[in-house]
Homo-oligomer: A and B are copies of this chain.
Amino acid sequence: MRILLDVMGGDLPPYELVKGGVSAGHNLDVDILFSGEQNAIRSALLKLHEHEGDRFSILPSSQTIAMTEPPVQAVRKKKDSSLVNGLVALKEHSVDAFVSPGNTGAVVAGAVFIVGRMAGIPRPGIAAMIPTVSGREIVVIDVGANVDCAPEHLLHFALMGATYARQVIGTAQPKIGLLNIGTERAKGNKVVHRVFDLLNNGPLPFAGNVEGHHLLTERPVDVVVCDGFIGNVFLKTLEGGISAVSNIIRNGVNKNLRGKLGALMLQPVFSELRKKLAYNRSGGAPLLGVNGSIVIAHGRSDAMAIESAIDVAHRAVKSHLNEIMAKGMSGWDENGS
């Protein structure tokens, strides 16, 4: 298996990302094609005592799409960017998967233009894996690919999220929840009301509405469905709440000796906390509904996060996610486009 890693668009320098790619290459036994500035990648490989070859190779590019660039224009104009080159390589099957910590909008736009949408899916969705207190993840889809969704799009997200949970995570009968502001059926806005009816009459095990305050502790469902605007607010707010708590604890323990000693004693608890709820370190988010395996990593991804994102891509390819999803979706009409 060969996975492409875009090392240019993230917040950290290419060296850090190459390091993650090298580690993933060895640990997962996959070949990595680094997409980006040739000299930067070469010197990173050298520094890591690796040489170019089958395991680690380079797809050179002269341009980089920045985090803040308008996605559609950037993809159209920067034809020799690491992101566009990488997606072309995926389209042409010279790699099995594509991983990037770059501009999310540009990855989504590029994926739609270059790699193409899956038949029956007018709107691809980004699925995030949310760690919970129980240790088992929840799939939340969409967390930012689409900001103005029709109800039918959310039904597609549910179908794709359920397929992901079944094929990649191994949940036999994934339960679906609809992110809402109350558990009663009447709660929510117009879009959510219509989605509730679609899911309620649909083929998937639908558990009704779910709310943000009990998802992580109770884990009532396996897949949470929402509009990409809501999903993105949800994801970032969760990160914000958790980092606020960490922040207060960190400041508190560093205040005096008592705090430092207490923190030392609670070291196993804090390390479990980090392991369980480390949003910036955990995995990457697969873009579902396009004709290729694409994983979007956090912009601030370090080597460990990149390795984890490559692992997500690796598992998707190994489980034949896309072939199975395409088969499952072909029965659906493009009635939501």
Closest B residue to A244 by CB, please name it. B216
Contact A212 B230 (CB under 8 A): no
> Out of B147, B179, B238, B259, which one reaches A266, CB within 8 Å?
B259
Task: State the CA gap A100–B259 with chains docked (Å).
Answer: 40
Which residues from B are CB-within-8-Å of A28? none
Shortest distance in angstroms between A177's beta carbon and chain B's nearest beta carbon? 13
Q: With A229-B230, A237-B213 as given contacts, are A189 and B147 in contact (CB-CB < 8 Å)? A: yes
Which residues from B are CB-within-8-Å of A181? 144, 147, 228-229, 232-233, 236
Task: State the CA gap A252–B272 with chains docked (Å).
Answer: 8
Number of interface residues of A (CB under 8 A): 60
Which of A246, A252, A261 has the most chain B CB atoms inside 10 A of its CB?
A252
Closest B residue to A243 by CB, please name it. B217
Q: With A212-B233, A229-B188 as given contacts, are A277 and B265 in contact (CB-CB < 8 Å)? A: no
Task: Say yes or no for A248: interface residue by CB 8 A criterion.
Answer: yes
Q: Which chain A residues numbered 210 to 240 have a C-beta less than 8 Å away from chain B?
A: 211-217, 228-230, 232-234, 236-240
Q: With A147-B189, A181-B232, A252-B269 as given contacts, are A237 and B261 in contact (CB-CB < 8 Å)? A: no
11 cross-chain CB contacts under 8 A: A133-B247, A147-B189, A211-B240, A213-B237, A233-B234, A234-B237, A238-B238, A238-B240, A241-B242, A245-B245, A262-B265
Known: A216-B240, A233-B234, A242-B244. 16 other contacts (CB 8 A): A147-B188, A147-B189, A181-B233, A212-B236, A212-B238, A212-B240, A215-B240, A216-B244, A238-B238, A245-B245, A248-B269, A252-B268, A252-B273, A261-B265, A262-B266, A262-B269
